[in-house]
Amino acid sequence: MSSIAQKKGFGATIWDFMTTVDHKKIAILYLISGGFFFLVGGIEAMMIRIQLAKAGNDFLSAGLYNEIITMHGTTMIFLASMPILLAFMNAIMPLQIGARDVAFPFLNSLGFWLFFFGGIFLNLSWFMGGAPDAGWTNYASLALASEGHGIDFYTLGLTISGFGTLIAGINFLVTIINMRAPGMTYMRMPLFTWTTFVASALILLAFPPLTVGLFFMVFDRLFGASFFAVEMGGNTIIWEHLFWIFGHPEVYILILPAFGIFSEIFAIFSRKRLFGYTALVFATILIGFYGFMVWAHHMFTVGLGPTANAVFALATMIIAVPTGIKIFNWLLTIWGGSISFTTPMIYAVAFIPSFVAGGVTGVMQAIAPLDYQLHDSYFIVAHFHYVIVGGVVLAILAGTHLYWPKMFGTMLSEKLGKWTFWFFFIGFHLTFFIQHFLGLMGMPRRVYTFGADQGWDLFNAISSAGAIFMAIGVIILLVNVVMTTIKNERVGNDPWGDGRTLEWAIPSPPPFYNFAQTPLVRGLDSFWIEKMEGNKKGMIFAEPLGDIHMPNNSFIPFVMSLGMFVASFGALYFLDGDKPWALAVLVIGLLITFGSMLVRSLKDDLGFHITKAELLKDAKGGNTDGH
Amino acid sequence: MMKGIKKWRLFALMTALLVFLAGCGREEISTLIPAGEVAQDQFNLLILSSIVMLFVIIVVSIIFVLAIVKFRRSKMGEDMIPEQVEGSARLEFLWTAVPIVLLLILAVPTVYSTFDLADVSTMDVQAEDGTSTHLTVNVTGKLYWWEFEYPEQGIVTAQELVVPTDERVYFNLISADIKHSFWIPSVGGKLDVNPENVNTFYLTFNQESSELDDGVFYGKCAELCGPSHALMDFKVKTVDREEFDQWVTAMQSEEPPVAEGDLAQQGEELFGPDGLACIQCHAISGSGGTGGIGPNLATFGDRNRVAGYLEHNEENLKNWIQDPQEYKPGNLMPDASSLNNGEELSEQELDALAAYLMGLTVEE
Amino acid sequence: MDINQRYTPQSWPEHPETATMEGKNKFIGFWLLLAAETVTFASLFATYLALKDKGPSGMEFSAAGLFELPLVFAMTMILLTSSLTSVYAMYHMKNHNFKAMQAWLGITVLLGATFLGLEIYEFNHYVHLGFGYTNSAFSSAFYTLVGTHGAHVLFGLSWFIALMLRNAKRGLNMYNAPKFYLASLYWHFIDVVWVFIFTVVYLMGVIG
- The pLDDT assigned to B261 comes to 84
**Residue B327 and residue A61: Cα distance in Å, rounded?**
11
Decide if pLDDT at A344 tops 50: yes
**Residue A232 and residue C96: Cα distance in Å, rounded?**
55
Decide if pLDDT at B13 tops 80: no
- How far off is chain C from A518, nearest CA to CA, in Å? 15
Q: Does B154 touch chain A (CB under 8 A)?
A: no
Q: Which residues of A touch B24 (CB under 8 A)?
A: 441
What is the residue type of A541? F
- The pLDDT assigned to A626 comes to 40
> What mean pLDDT is predicted for residues A302-326?
95
The DSSP string of C118-147 is HHHHHHHHHHHHT--TTS-HHHHHHHHHHH
Judge: B224–A63 Cβ closer than 8 Å, yes or no.
no
- Please state the pTM of the whole predicted model: 0.94
Decide if pLDDT at A346 tops 60: yes
- The pLDDT assigned to B335 comes to 85
Judge: B111–A310 Cβ closer than 8 Å, yes or no.
yes
Decide if pLDDT at A508 tops 60: yes
Q: Does C140 touch chain A (CB under 8 A)?
A: yes
* Confidence grade of residue A625 (pLDDT, cut at 50, 70, 90): very low
Judge: A173–C162 Cβ closer than 8 Å, yes or no.
no
> What mean pLDDT is predicted for residues C196-203?
95
Judge: B330–A320 Cβ closer than 8 Å, yes or no.
no
Q: Which residues of A touch C140 (CB under 8 A)?
A: 219-220, 225-227, 234
Of A172, A200, A244, A211, whose CA–CA distance to A26 is shortest?
A172
> What mean pLDDT is predicted for residues A136-141?
95
> What mean pLDDT is predicted for residues B233-254?
92
Segment A35-63, tens digit of pLDDT: 999 999 999 999 999 999 999 999 999 99
Give the whole-number percent of chain C exceeding pLDDT 70: 98
Q: Which residues of A touch B178 (CB under 8 A)?
A: 141-142, 145
Taking only residues 211 to 250 of chain B, the set having a beta carbon closer than 8 angstroms to any beta carbon of chain A reads 214, 218, 220-231
Q: Which residues of A touch C44 (CB under 8 A)?
A: 212
Q: Domains of chain A: which residue ranges?
A: 25-495
- The pLDDT assigned to A152 comes to 94
* Confidence grade of residue B123 (pLDDT, cut at 50, 70, 90): confident
Phi, psi of B126, deg, nearest 5: -115, 145
Q: If you count residue pairs, one on A and one on B, with CB atoms under 8 Å apart, how many are there?
A: 297
Decide if pLDDT at C138 tops 60: yes
Given CA atoms B250, B255, B256, B262 in this order, what sign does their dihedral have? negative
- How far off is chain B from A387, nearest CA to CA, in Å? 15
**Residue A238 and residue B325: Cα distance in Å, rounded?**
33
Of A230, A273, A334, the CB nearest to B68: A334
* Confidence grade of residue B79 (pLDDT, cut at 50, 70, 90): confident
- How far off is chain C from A607, nearest CA to CA, in Å? 10
* Confidence grade of residue B80 (pLDDT, cut at 50, 70, 90): confident
Judge: A454–B26 Cβ closer than 8 Å, yes or no.
yes
Give the whole-number percent of chain A exceeding pLDDT 90: 86
Q: Which residues of C touch A213 (CB under 8 A)?
A: 43
What is the residue type of A119? G
Question: For B136-163, b where at least 16 C-beta lie within 10 A, e where not — what string?
Answer: bbbbbbbbbbbbbbbeebebbbbbbbbb
Residues sharing a CB contact under 8 Å with residue A26, sequence separation 6 or more, in sequence order: A20, A90, A108, A109, A112
Decide if pLDDT at A260 tops 90: yes
What is the residue type of A391? G
> A168-177, A610-619, B47-56 — which is least confidently predicted?
A610-619
> What mean pLDDT is predicted for residues B26-48?
93
Residue B215 CB neighbour total at 10 angstroms:
13
Segment B146-155, tens digit of pLDDT: 999 999 899 9
- How far off is chain A from C62, nearest CA to CA, in Å? 12
Q: Work out the mean pLDDT of chain B and round it to a whole number.
A: 89
Taking only residues 72 to 111 of chain C, the set having a beta carbon closer than 8 angstroms to any beta carbon of chain A reads none
Q: Which residues of A touch B19 (CB under 8 A)?
A: 458
**Residue A17 and residue A110: Cα distance in Å, rounded?**
12
Judge: B23–A331 Cβ closer than 8 Å, yes or no.
no
Q: Work out the mean pLDDT of chain C and round it to a whole number.
A: 92
> What mean pLDDT is predicted for residues A112-121?
96
Angle, alpha carbons B162-B231-B340 (nearest 5°): 95
Segment C83-121, tens digit of pLDDT: 999 999 999 999 999 999 999 999 999 999 999 999 999
Judge: A233–C136 Cβ closer than 8 Å, yes or no.
yes
More confident residue, B12 or C154: C154
The CA-atom distances, in angstroms, between A272 and each of A269, A326, A333, A394, B279 are 8, 16, 7, 22, 78
Q: Which residues of A touch B199 (CB under 8 A)?
A: 303
- The pLDDT assigned to A97 comes to 96
- The pLDDT assigned to B9 comes to 62
* Confidence grade of residue B254 (pLDDT, cut at 50, 70, 90): low
- How far off is chain A from B59, nearest CA to CA, in Å? 10
Cβ contact C162:C4 at 8 Å = no
Residue of A nearest to B75 (CA): A338
Decide if pLDDT at A251 tops 90: yes
Superfamily of domain covering A25-495: Cytochrome c oxidase-like, subunit I domain (1.20.210.10)
- The pLDDT assigned to B31 comes to 93
Judge: A219–C140 Cβ closer than 8 Å, yes or no.
yes
For chain C, list the contacting chains (3+ Cβ pairs, <8 Å). A
- The pLDDT assigned to C204 comes to 92
